Structure 1
Amino acid sequence: MMAWVLAAMLLLPLLWLSAEFLAAFLPDGHQDAPAEAPAFAVLMPAHDEVWGIAAAVKATRAQLRPCDRLVVIADNCTDGTAAAARRAGAFVATRTNPGHRGKGFALDFGRDILSDDPPEIAIILDADCTPGPGALQRLAAIARQEKAAVQGLFLLTPPAEAGSLIGISTFAFKIRNLVRQRGLLRLSGSAVLQGTGMAFPWELLKDAPLASASLVEDLQLGLELFLGGHRVIFDEGASFTSSASSEAATVGQRTRWEHGQISTAIRYVPRLLRATLQRPAALPLALDVAVPPLSLLGMSVASGLLGLLVYGWQSGILMPLLALSLGCVLFAVSLLAVWSRWGKELLPARTLAQIPFYMLWKLPIYGRLLVRPQRDWLRTSREP
């Protein structure tokens, strides 16, 4: 019985990921965004972003019309972020509250500023993020048309000199932010929020729970909206990019994301499963949130296969091992199909052999989760 329980616990995320990967190849059936976009305001939280804030402000302002606004929230900054943003042409509000640090508190502060003259649509954009052509107006138009939160396509671009570990990390990011979002939307009709390139009708944002110290405040916000009866839509036609971090900074960034993802899953999966009784679409969302980070899943599956092999050799019962092995084959085939369509430019075939070393590279992240999980929000370094 314990062997079957172990096999089932590992099989479920493998089968769900395979389903998302395969569903990602299906057409979405969505219509093009309306030609006219409503007036919108962009909220750009920024903490010590002096070196990149001017470029982000200029790229954003290039897509604004006279009826649109940009508000930069210089949050607990210790550098010249506010001055640099003002020189680039942004309206800047400064916030100083060391006891409440994090993006969620900055967004709550920015929402209070907008509430004096609320826009029809509010868009959240990180200070290191560049919107693609027409992305802001497209998001605003779809948010009004669908009366829902809209998550655009957010991807990382690795520097030319990036090593294989950063390439693998960037591909894993693309799986999460493009492939799984496509698959989840097709399987459930909803998606998850991913931090930047997000649009909200004001009526939806004005009461949303923004003020939070969560390490993944975006994921938490999307789940709260869903549990409140709202939808999150994924639209890959509105694209946003940010430069991938260095290897050292990526470790810190991944620590925050993955520790936050795991703690959020522990808190929200039971709530989503209970919500399934009234809203069946909650089940696919629960399955998606319950999937651990891919490297952690890979390590767990490898350990599970080894344990089931030893158990089968001693007991002669091989069916649990066979079932998990077949699940691994299905996952590998679907992942190879995903790489063939969306990963070749990021991850050449010759670097695929580096994936086990990438998993070992991330071992300290999961070791720290056991002994000292990260709880405080920390800004990711932008240094090369």
Structure 2
Amino acid sequence: MLGLLTWALAAAAGLPLLMLAAECILGSNPRIKSPYVLPPPFTVLIPAHDEADGIAAVIRAVRAQLRPCDGVLVVADNCTDDTAAIAAACGADVVERHDPKRRGKAYALAFGREVLRAQPTALVIVVDADCVPTRGALPRLAAHAAGHGATVQACYLLKVPADATPLVRLSTFAFMIKNLVRQRGLQRLGGGALLQGTGMAFPWPVFDTAPLETASLVEDLELGLELRLAGRPVRFDSGSVFTSSASGQSATEGQRTRWEHGSIATARSYVPRLLRAGLLGRPALLVLAADLSIPPLALLAGIDMAIWLALGLLAVLTGNAAPLLVLTAISAVAIAALAFTWLRLGRDVLPPAMAAYLPRYLLWKLPIYRRLAGDRQTLWVRTSRKP
């Protein structure tokens, strides 16, 4: 019985590490293909809550990529500032929503959908009000969605200011692994992609019927999983890039708390459903379940270390060191895969000297995970836009 326990512990830590390593190795190679169709008309839908300071730059960047047949609609959601007036002055169509009891992006998107139903376009692209599409991102994303008849997630990355603290840089590197490297690796493994918020292109029939309204902290992630379970394809386009500025250290902690608490709760809810559907004849969902089972990197490192120490103790007590050696080998492969990713893609975000701050980064994340036990974040809170 003790032998089974040691192997179960090794598997619990080792399988997510193997999936992470596979995604990092496959996802670190760009191999970006150009879209092969002209996009049909599309509407850019921007949910915005108190975004007066930055929304003008986003609308200007969006409108620079639109044709006469395309449009941009801003939903000024429960705003207490001049978001609506500024968006209108920049040339966007604007609608205002006032419902303090139902706050958050999901409700704003549903409100915008009701407006668009009067005259829908072939595609809807959701862009967050603090995210700027890089050159050509919108038509490329629309072409990808139209060409495959699928919902497509663009690549969403953070820009790091020159004076960013080491902890913010480490968090931004982890963000890049999650939003670019692992997404690309997941798609190459046959698992499709996850929705991550900004830069989501939907064919109108999908958007028209999508389950948008939810109080979830990670409404975009859950929406993508619901689409996949319903048999709708979700793809990733690493060539369509959207960026926003990394927040300061205190705001980054709040943002990571919301994302990670929401992601962990979502994984707990959806992994069993994905496994069940995968075992019933949809193997791509097994790959997706394996990806969703990977905890945030700092938490994964902590779990791996704790299990490694437990296996070391059990090896002394039982004389069976095989599970410990297997987990050690898998951990080494995962560390090598992360180092490979850093060499290929991460040196500008995370200079080599900042590696010394990794233990501090893990300690910085501990309060986030302690709150999971009894004070898990459940309410949507707008992330500060201050650098």
Alignment TM-score > 0.5, same fold: yes
Q: Which moved more, 1:307-316 or 1:109-118?
A: 307-316
Residue by residue over 1:21-60, the C-alpha shift from the partner in whole angstroms, topping out at 9 and shown as x without a partner, is: 12224576x7521352211001000111111111111111
| Equivalent residue number for residue 66 of structure 2 | 64
Determine the C-alpha separation between the residues in 1 that align with 2:373 and 2:79. Answer: 32
| Equivalent residue number for residue 379 of structure 1 | 382
Residue by residue over 1:164-187, the C-alpha shift from the partner in whole angstroms, topping out at 9 and shown as x without a partner, is: 111111100000011101100000
| Equivalent residue number for residue 292 of structure 2 | 289
Q: Which moved more, 1:305-314 or 1:135-144?
A: 305-314
Determine the C-alpha separation between the residues in 2 that align with 1:257 and 1:203. Answer: 28
- SS of corresponding position for 1:383: coil
Does residue 86 of structure 1 match 2:96? no
Q: AA paired with 1:242? A: S
After superposition, residues 263-278 of structure 1 pair within 5 angstroms as 263-276=265-278, 277-278=280-281
Q: AA paired with 2:268? A: I
| Equivalent residue number for residue 211 of structure 1 | 213
| Equivalent residue number for residue 322 of structure 2 | 319
| Equivalent residue number for residue 305 of structure 1 | 308
CA RMSD after TM alignment = 1.2
Shift of 1:127: 0.2
Determine the C-alpha separation between the residues in 2 that align with 1:313 and 1:84. Answer: 67
Shift of 1:337: 0.6
| Equivalent residue number for residue 243 of structure 2 | 241
Identical pairs, percent: 54
| Equivalent residue number for residue 182 of structure 1 | 184
Q: AA paired with 1:332? A: I
- SS of corresponding position for 1:206: helix
| Equivalent residue number for residue 345 of structure 2 | 342
Determine the C-alpha separation between the residues in 1 that align with 2:68 and 2:85. Answer: 23
Q: Which moved more, 1:100-109 or 1:2-11?
A: 2-11
Residue by residue over 1:231-274, the C-alpha shift from the partner in whole angstroms, topping out at 9 and shown as x without a partner, is: 11111111110000110000110001000000100111011001
Q: AA paired with 2:351? A: P
| Equivalent residue number for residue 12 of structure 1 | 15
Shift of 1:306: 1.5
Determine the C-alpha separation between the residues in 1 that align with 2:81 and 2:123. Answer: 31
- SS of corresponding position for 2:23: helix
Shift of 1:309: 1.6
TM, length-normalised to structure 2: 0.97
| Equivalent residue number for residue 370 of structure 1 | 373
Give structure 2 stretches of 5+ with no counterpart.
none
For residue 354 of structure 2, the aligned residue among 351, 361, 373 is 351
TM, length-normalised to structure 1: 0.97
Q: Which moved more, 1:271-280 or 1:310-319?
A: 310-319
Q: AA paired with 2:352? A: A
Determine the C-alpha separation between the residues in 1 that align with 2:40 and 2:271. Answer: 35
| Equivalent residue number for residue 139 of structure 2 | 137
Shift of 1:383: 1.6
- SS of corresponding position for 1:381: coil
Q: AA paired with 1:61? A: R
Q: AA paired with 2:13? A: L
- SS of corresponding position for 1:281: helix
Determine the C-alpha separation between the residues in 1 that align with 2:268 and 2:335. Answer: 27
| Equivalent residue number for residue 101 of structure 1 | 103
Determine the C-alpha separation between the residues in 2 that align with 1:31 and 1:355. Answer: 35
- SS of corresponding position for 1:89: coil
Q: AA paired with 1:15? A: L
